[in-house]
Amino acid sequence: MHALYDWLFSASRDQKRALLAAALGWMLDSMDVMLYAFVLGPVQREMHLTSAEAGAMMSATLIAAAIGGIGFGLWADRIGRTRALMGSMLLYSVATALCGLSHSAAELAVYRILLGLGMGGEWACGAALVAETWPAQNRGKALAVVQSFWAIGYALGAAIVAVVLPHFGWRAVFFAGIAPALLTLWIRRKVHEPEVFERQRVARPPVRELFRGRLGRGMLVCATMNAATLFAWWGLFTWLPRFLSMPVAQGGHGLSILQTSGWTIVMQAGMFLGYLTFGYLADSFSRKYTYIAYLLIAAALVPVYTSVRSPQVLLVIGPLVGFFGTGYFSGFSVIASELFPAHLRASALGFVYNIGRVVSAAAPWMIGGLSQRAGLGTALGLTSVAFMLAAGIAMALEDPPTEAMARTAAE
C-alpha cells in the first residue's frame, strides 16, 4: 500500500504545498457551490420559485463561472497562479456567505453570480499550478488528488446541511461558506509560483495563438467535450438531492434531510475513488481511452439509477454513479494541461473549461423544466445522452502523448 503513495511522499515541499493549496481550494469551491443543491427545497418554498426558476438560479451561477474562469485564467498568466487563486477563493467565499443574507430571488441571483465568478477562476488557476509543479510521470495522479477533493467538498456540504439546516435554517448553511477566505492567508505565505511559469512568463501572453493551428484544434475538442460532460454533471448532480428527497407521489424517493445527506455522502465516496483511480490508470495506460471508458459507463449507469425504486438499492448503485459519473474530470485536467504551453496554460484551461460551462449552464434549467412535464427521473435521463456525446467528441483528441512527450509539453 505504501508503494502506491511513494510518488507523493517523495515529492518536494513546493510540490506538496501546491497540491494542497489547489486541492483545498477545489474542495471548498465544491462545498460552497453545492450547498445550494442541498437547500433547494427550502429556498423554493420561501422564495416561491418553480423548479425551472430554481434551476435557472444554478444556471446563472454556471454562466458567471464561465466568465470568471476565463478572466482569472488570463489574469493568472499575467500576475501568477497563486495570486489569481487567492483572488478567486476570496470572491466565492464571501459571495456564499452573502447568499444567507438574501431576502429575494433577485438578491440571491446576484450573490450566486458573484460566487460563480470566483468558482470559475479556482479550477484554471489550481490546475495550472499543479500541472507546472509536478513531473509528467506523476502529473495524472497529482491532478487526480486535486480533483478528488471535489467529492470531499460535496460530502462536507451534505454534512453541514444535515447538521445546520434542521436547527438554524437554510440561511445559516451559507454562512459556513466563508471558510475558504482563511485558506488564502496560508497560500500567500507558503505557496510559490512554479519555476516553469516564471521562466516562460511574458508580460502580454499571445492569447490569439490558442485559436490557430494545432492549439486551436485542441481548444475546439477540449471545449466541446467538456461542455457535454459539464452539462451531464450539473444536470445530474444539481438535481439528485432533490430527486432523493422529493415525495414518492411526485416521482422521488421521499427521503428525509438526514437520509438524503447520508445517501449523498456515500455517493461521494465513490466519486473520491473514481477521481483517484483515474489518476493511476492515466499515468499507467492511456489518458484518452480511460477518459472515454469512464464516460460510456456513466452513460449506462444513469438510467439504471433513476429507474430503481428501492432506496437501499440506490445506496449501492450511488457510489458507482459517483465513481464513473465524475472520475473522468481527473482526465480532463491532465489532458488539457498537457496540450498547451506554460505561458498560455492558465488562459487555455480557463477558456476550454469555462466555454463548456456556458453550454452546461442550461442543464439545471432544462432538467428542472423537463421534470415539470415528464418527472424528474425521466428528465435526469437527458444527462446520459450528454455523457455519450462527450465520449464521441473525445475520440477526436490527439493520440495520448508518451511520457517524454508529456514532459516536453508541460515544461
Q: How many beta carbons lie within 10 A of that of residue 369, not counting itself?
A: 18
Q: Is residue 409 within 8 Å of residue 338, measured between CB atoms?
A: yes
5, burial (CB in 10 Å: exposed 0-12, middle 13-18, buried 19+): exposed
pLDDT, residue 410, reads: 43
Domain contains 142: yes
Domain contains 1: no
Domain contains 7: no
Find the angle CA(50)-CA(51)-CA(54) to the nearest 5 degrees: 85
**In the block, which residue shows the cell 465513490?**
270
Q: In whole angstroms, how far apart are CA 262 and each of 26, 161, 162, 242?
A: 22, 11, 9, 13
Domain residues for 295?
Answer: 13-191+203-410
Domain contains 72: yes
- The continuous run of DSSP H or E covering 334 comes out as helix 329-339
Distance of CA 310 to the CA centre of its chain: 29
Whole-number Å distance between alpha carbons of 161 and 22: 24
Q: Is residue 327 within 8 Å of residue 279, measured between CB atoms?
A: no
If one counts the domains in the chain, the total is 1
pLDDT, residue 157, reads: 86
Q: Which three cell numbers stand for residue 117?
A: 465568478
pLDDT, residue 227, reads: 92
Domain contains 332: yes
Q: Which three cell numbers stand for residue 296?
A: 460510456
36, burial (CB in 10 Å: exposed 0-12, middle 13-18, buried 19+): buried
Whole-number Å distance between alpha carbons of 382 and 149: 27
Q: In whole angstroms, how far apart are CA 207 and each of 134, 219, 313, 353, 376?
A: 24, 12, 49, 16, 42
pLDDT, residue 18, reads: 93
Domain contains 4: no
- The closest alpha carbon to 29, from 150, 203, 164, 205, belongs to 150
What CATH number does the domain containing 265 carry? 1.20.1250.20
280, burial (CB in 10 Å: exposed 0-12, middle 13-18, buried 19+): middle
Q: Averaged in consecutive runs of 10 residues, what is the pLDDT profile of the chain (411 residues)? A: 71 92 88 81 86 80 86 87 90 91 90 89 86 86 88 85 88 86 86 83 77 89 92 84 74 74 82 88 85 95 86 87 90 85 84 81 80 80 93 83 42 45
pLDDT, residue 323, reads: 94
Domain contains 198: no
pTM metric for this prediction: 0.75
Domain contains 313: yes
